[in-house]
């Protein structure tokens, strides 16, 4: 089985930040040795990768400086992955170890975002650097990208894993979308910013399956 982002039927986009001293305390090394192997071992997860935001070339600097692509093998795997008991405990441990480096995290960091692929370039070669672009409204017809995702849903990140599941664990973006983007596009390697976007930034890979 391939474990490429392009082979996932659904992808959860997780945007976050950590305290200023996190890297000095070995955060990226922890992602490589602990976080990434853990997520990629969860049944139903096909591709989980950690990225760090680099230079922002269009739009305002986001409130998040890291993000993860949490790729789900099939749509039917989403709920059992999101409510995996080990994952729930791991989330609590992450908060205890790293947290958000601030008091009350803004809404964009308290949620994750369910995306579905709407375009995939054939013959993709993954690379450790990407341009990530996002926008509001329809995807520009002249956008040159390797993968394009439509943001369809909003997931609550943290919850009690015991007891009944809240009915609003997944809501459509029409009910509110803290990410503020309707689509995200991934291009491997450096490309020119020739299409106006709400956000465009370069990112470096930290860990992948």
Residue 54 lies in a domain: yes
Could you give the 3-state DSSP secondary structure of residue 136? coil
- The confidence score (pLDDT) of residue 159 equals 59
- Rounded to whole angstroms, the Cα distance separating 95 from 61 reads 24
CA atoms within 13 A on the CB side of 20: 1
Eight-class DSSP state of 175:
G
- The confidence score (pLDDT) of residue 1 equals 63
- The confidence score (pLDDT) of residue 172 equals 97
Residue 129 lies in a domain: no
- The confidence score (pLDDT) of residue 104 equals 79
Residue 24's CATH number: 3.30.70.100
- Domain span holding position 73: 5-117+153-177
- The confidence score (pLDDT) of residue 163 equals 60
Q: What is the dihedral of CA 115, 118, 121, 125, to 10 degrees?
A: 10
Number of H helices, E strands in the chain: 5, 9
The structural domain count of the chain equals 1
Dihedral pair phi/psi, residue 76, rounded to 5°: -70, -15
Residue 123 lies in a domain: no
Tell me the mean pLDDT per 10 residues along the chain, length 209: 89 95 96 97 96 96 97 94 88 87 83 96 90 96 94 83 75 97 94 87 96
Q: Euclidean distance between the first and final Cα of the chain, in Å? A: 12
């Amino acid at each position: 089985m391939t474990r490429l982002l392009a082979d996932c039927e659904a992808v959860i986009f997780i945007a976050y930040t950590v305290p200023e001293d996190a890297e000095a305390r070995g955060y990226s090394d922890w992602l490589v040795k602990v976080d990434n192997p853990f997520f990629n071992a969860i049944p139903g997860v096909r591709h989980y990768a950690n990225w760090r935001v680099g230079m922002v070339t269009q739009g305002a600097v986001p409130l998040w400086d890291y993000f993860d692509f949490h790729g789900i093998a099939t749509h039917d795997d989403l709920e059992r992955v999101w409510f995996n008991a080990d994952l729930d405990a791991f989330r609590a441990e992450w908060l205890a170890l790293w947290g958000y480096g601030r008091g009350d995290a803004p809404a964009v960091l308290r949620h994750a975002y369910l995306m579905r692929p709407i375009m995939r370039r054939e013959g993709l070669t993954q690379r450790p650097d990407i341009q990530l672009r996002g926008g509001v409204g329809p995807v520009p017809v002249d956008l040159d990208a390797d993968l394009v995702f439509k943001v369809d849903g909003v997931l609550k990140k943290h919850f009690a894993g015991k007891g009944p599941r809240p009915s609003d664990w997944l809501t459509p973006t029409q009910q509110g979308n803290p990410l503020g983007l309707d689509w995200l596009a991934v291009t491997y390697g450096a490309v020119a910013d020739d299409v106006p976007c709400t956000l465009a930034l370069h990112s470096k890979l930290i860990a992948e399956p």
